Amino acid sequence: MRVMVIIQADKNSEAGVMPDESLLAAMGQYNEELVKAGIMLDGEGLHPSSKGKRVKFSGKERTVIDGPFAEAKELIAGYWMWKVNSMEEAVEWVKRCPNPMGEASVVEIRPVFEAEDFGAEFTPELREQEDRLRKQIADQRK
């Protein structure tokens, strides 16, 4: 199963405070362990929401909202995409993670929808399109 592991933002990440060298080194070591175990598919840190934008949808209308966005606890500071055998395995890997914010931190784990989760509505044609797009993405990363 694939999961997204979400690192919740805090006041420091939203203020643009960068991690110190020891945290960067610890995270680098942790990422190496994830890669060697075949778990990590992708992962990045994100700039503060002050550098972001939101697009609000209302019917056919689109409204662009400039950051920063309120409530740091509802924002994302970074993420990983992992391939694991179970949610329990993902939890065990997160428990091994260096504290991402150095103080109080929250890391959320969410399963990613797979094709079979969509049922009959995800027709063979749509599955073929999805497979083709995933292959194109993989080829572009090479």
Quick check: helix, strand or coil at residue 22? helix
Predicted pLDDT of residue 72: 64
Judge whether 10 and 81 are in contact, CB under 8 Å: no
- Give the pLDDT band (50/70/90) at residue 96: very high
Query: Which ranges of 9-78 does DSSP label H, i.e. alpha helix?
Result: 11-14, 21-36
Average pLDDT over residues 92-98: 97
43-62 confidence digits (pLDDT tens): 999 999 999 999 999 999 99
Please report which helix (H) or strand (E) contains residue 79, including its range. strand 76-83
Q: What is the rounded distance in angstroms from the CA atom of residue 81 to the CA atom of residue 5? A: 6
Q: Where are the domains of the chain?
A: 2-111, 115-142
Judge whether 9 and 73 are in contact, CB under 8 Å: yes
pTM exceeds 0.85, yes or no:
yes
Quick check: helix, strand or coil at residue 124? helix
At the second CATH level, the architecture of 2-111 is: 2-Layer Sandwich (3.30)
